[in-house]
A and B are shown apart, each in its own frame.
Chain A
Amino acid sequence: MVDVEPFIEDAVAEIEAEIGDADAVIALSGGVDSSVAAALAYRAIGDRLTPVYVDTGLMRKGETEQIRETFSYMDSLRIVEAQDRFLDSLAGITDPEGKRHAIGEQFIREFEQEARSANAEYLVQGTIYPDRIESEGNIKSHHNVGGLPEAVDFEGIVEPVRDLYKDEVRTVARELELGAVTEERMPFPGPGLAIRVLGEATREKVAVAREACHVVEEETEAHDPWQAFAAVVGKATGVKGDNRVHGWVVSVRSVESRDGMTARAQELPWETLQRIQSRITGENDNVARVVYDVTHKPPATIEYE
């Protein structure tokens, strides 16, 4: 386990030594890895760091407001409103890797512009140890590794948490006092809600996934899952107020894990599952049914795409 205080001291010193008097940028995702990397880099070089947060329109409910609040102490914070550009770029794409690719491309376009206007010579990234190994293993492509450095000609890339595991990053976040929201926030995939809707990521499906994820996060809180969310997995028949509906099927997933590498489907009480079902079908006219995913990892993955 990482020894937090000396780690922070060393990391800040290393960032200072690497970046010197130059300027740097970092992409904030709202997740704990990039938040910790940004906080460390900000300690080292202050406002010569420009943290950039791109609102892709694929974020969790309330995420952008939360970022604005958590990082308000950084005067250099930039928030890019790119919701429509991302959703337009996803039109007609059904293949999961195709969706990831489209989001990655659009992200690079948005970020490149900010990096240039900030005159940044260095890129800071929140890459953690498993990212480096997993992107070799070809299970899924991570959009936080690779891509960016080819598009923008940086002097150097600084990865202050590259040797840490997720749970270790969280202990560092606690020490940096990043706020309970960032420290304890559940993992959220880089491509966001786009991979919590199977097939094409339309505005309608993304909106259902966002509301349903919010309900699941609220209702499972007392059971302290490692990750809990909902995904839009297809269409099915329902009947609401004597009217037949052909609506979305929402799958609810709640798992226990240490590091996301293996996971156990949580044994949630029937009442909790029923409350989730009732709220999701009640608050969303276009949802016909809610199912609970009981599969562990392996054989399933935690996310659906």
Chain B
Amino acid sequence: MTRIAVIDNHGQFTHLERRTLRDLGVDVDIVDNTTPPADIDADGLVLSGGPDMDRIGNCPAYLDLDVPVFGVCLGMQILAAELDGEVGAGDYGGYADVDVEILDSEDPLIGSLAPETRVWASHADEVKRVPEGFARTATSDVCDVEAMSDPDRDRYGVQWHPEVAHTERGEEVFENFIDVCE
């Protein structure tokens, strides 16, 4: 069975990421972000959201593991900050419902949602520049980089919360990630 580790960055919705994956029938565990990288045994990682870049534990080291990585909210910002992208304060906080425009309908993670999707978000910071090798795959009126992908290295991120009940077609994003991991 496909095994996915949800890395807990102290986000409120971490347990909903576990729940969505559990309901999709994969083997899933919530893993403390202080776990040594060598102890992580999974076919894919979800980096959860969280309140603070200072509490991301060993997340930077997990990016060197040879498995697909999917960052949610702060998890995506970790990808940008640790690779050579840039994260900063947004002009307009993204809270509750946001209409997101999908820019790449071929993207393995979110392409199936094209042309647009209604999501639920909760963030003040955002990705200002995507890292080398990444493409911006979604955008909205309140946040320029709503999603980014590097399919060659299997590194993906979304700024919104696909795990919450109010996001439309959030489960589909996790299904797509499971396909990538298999």
Which chain A residues have a beta carbon within 8 Å of chain B's beta carbons? Answer: 1, 129-130, 133-134, 136-137, 139, 165, 257-259, 261-264, 296-299
Q: Which 9 A-B pairs have the closest CB atoms?
A: A258-B165, A296-B96, A298-B122, A299-B95, A262-B164, A133-B15, A262-B166, A298-B95, A262-B120
Q: Tell me, rounded to whole Å, the shortest Cβ–Cβ distance linking A4 to chain B.
A: 15
A-B contact pairs, 20 of them (CB 8 A): A1-B23, A129-B15, A133-B14, A133-B15, A133-B30, A137-B10, A137-B12, A257-B166, A258-B165, A261-B16, A261-B164, A261-B165, A262-B96, A262-B161, A262-B164, A262-B166, A264-B96, A296-B95, A299-B93, A299-B122
Whole-angstrom CA separation of A130 from B16 in the bound complex: 9
CB-CB contacts of B3-44 with A at 8 A, as 1s and 0s? Answer: 000000011111110010001000000100000000000000
Say whether chain A's binding surface is mostly helix, strand, loop, or mixed: loop
Q: Which residue of A lies closest to B122 (CB)?
A: A298
Whole-angstrom CA separation of A134 from B166 in the bound complex: 19
Whole-angstrom CA separation of A137 from B55 in the bound complex: 12
Whole-angstrom CA separation of A137 from B171 in the bound complex: 24
Q: Is the CB of B96 within 8 A of A299?
A: yes
**What residues on A are CB-neighbors of B164 within 8 Å?**
261-262
Whole-angstrom CA separation of A297 from B164 in the bound complex: 11
Whole-angstrom CA separation of A296 from B161 in the bound complex: 15
Q: Is the CB of B165 within 8 A of A136?
A: no
Q: Is the CB of B19 within 8 A of A165?
A: yes
Q: Is the CB of A130 within 8 A of B166?
A: no
> For the complex, is B99 an interface residue (Cβ under 8 Å from A)?
no
Q: Is the CB of A136 within 8 A of B10?
A: yes
**What residues on B are CB-neighbors of A259 within 8 Å?**
16, 165
**What residues on A are CB-neighbors of B30 within 8 Å?**
133
> For the complex, is B106 an interface residue (Cβ under 8 Å from A)?
no
**What residues on A are CB-neighbors of B97 within 8 Å?**
264, 296
Q: Is the CB of A297 within 8 A of B10?
A: no
**What residues on A are CB-neighbors of B165 within 8 Å?**
257-259, 261-262
Q: Tell me, rounded to whole Å, the shortest Cβ–Cβ distance linking B159 to chain A.
A: 13
Whole-angstrom CA separation of A133 from B16 in the bound complex: 10
Q: Is the CB of A261 within 8 A of B122?
A: no
Q: Which residue of B lies closest to A257 (CB)?
A: B165
**What residues on B are CB-neighbors of A137 within 8 Å?**
10-12
Whole-angstrom CA separation of A264 from B19 in the bound complex: 21
Q: Tell me, rounded to whole Å, the shortest Cβ–Cβ distance linking A264 to chain B.
A: 6
Q: Which residue of B lies closest to A134 (CB)?
A: B12
Whole-angstrom CA separation of A296 from B121 in the bound complex: 11
CB-CB contacts of B120-145 with A at 8 A, as 1s and 0s? Answer: 10100000000000000000000000
Q: Tell me, rounded to whole Å, the shortest Cβ–Cβ distance linking A157 to chain B.
A: 20
Q: Tell me, rounded to whole Å, the shortest Cβ–Cβ distance linking A281 to chain B.
A: 30
Q: Which residue of A lies closest to B123 (CB)?
A: A298
Whole-angstrom CA separation of A257 from B165 in the bound complex: 7
B86-100 interface with A by 8 A CB criterion: 93, 95-97
Q: Is the CB of A261 within 8 A of B12?
A: yes
Q: Is the CB of B13 within 8 A of A261?
A: yes
Given contacts A133-B30, A259-B16, 11 further A-B contacts (CB under 8 A): A1-B23, A137-B10, A259-B165, A262-B120, A262-B165, A264-B166, A296-B95, A296-B97, A298-B96, A298-B122, A299-B93
**What residues on B are CB-neighbors of A136 within 8 Å?**
10
**What residues on A are CB-neighbors of B96 within 8 Å?**
262, 264, 296-299
Whole-angstrom CA separation of A299 from B12 in the bound complex: 13
**What residues on A are CB-neighbors of B95 within 8 Å?**
296, 298-299
Q: Tell me, rounded to whole Å, the shortest Cβ–Cβ distance linking A267 to chain B.
A: 13
Q: Tell me, rounded to whole Å, the shortest Cβ–Cβ distance linking B10 to chain A.
A: 6
Whole-angstrom CA separation of A299 from B99 in the bound complex: 17
